[in-house]
Amino acid sequence: RIIDETFDPILESAVASLSDDHRLVVELVDARGLTYEEAALQLGVPIGTVMSRLHRARARLRTALRGSHLDRAASATGVAPV
């Protein structure tokens, strides 16, 4: 979840690297808190499309953030990023 209006520069760069379709669904669902149904209505696409785009976008963000201080896996295990 995004807690405040300012993004960490690494996260901002990772989000900016997403396609427009993927970035928009992340903004609507993860940043603004819309439900899948609300996002689908706003975008004029099926709910499944929102779910698919969000899944792919989150996977790309995880990859982009791997090894950074925002890497949840590294933080959870206490392993310092390489």
**Per-residue pLDDT tens over the stretch 14-29:** 888 999 999 999 999 9
Answer whether 39's CB lies under 8 Å from 57's CB: no
**Residue 71 Cα distances to 24, 76, 77, 80, 82, angstroms:** 22, 9, 10, 10, 11
59 band by pLDDT with thresholds 50, 70 and 90: very high
pTM over 0.85: no
Residue 35 has pLDDT above 80, yes or no: yes
Specify the pLDDT at position 40.
98
- pLDDT grade, residue 82 (50/70/90)? very low
Q: Give the residue, 77 or 71, on which the prediction is more confident.
A: 71
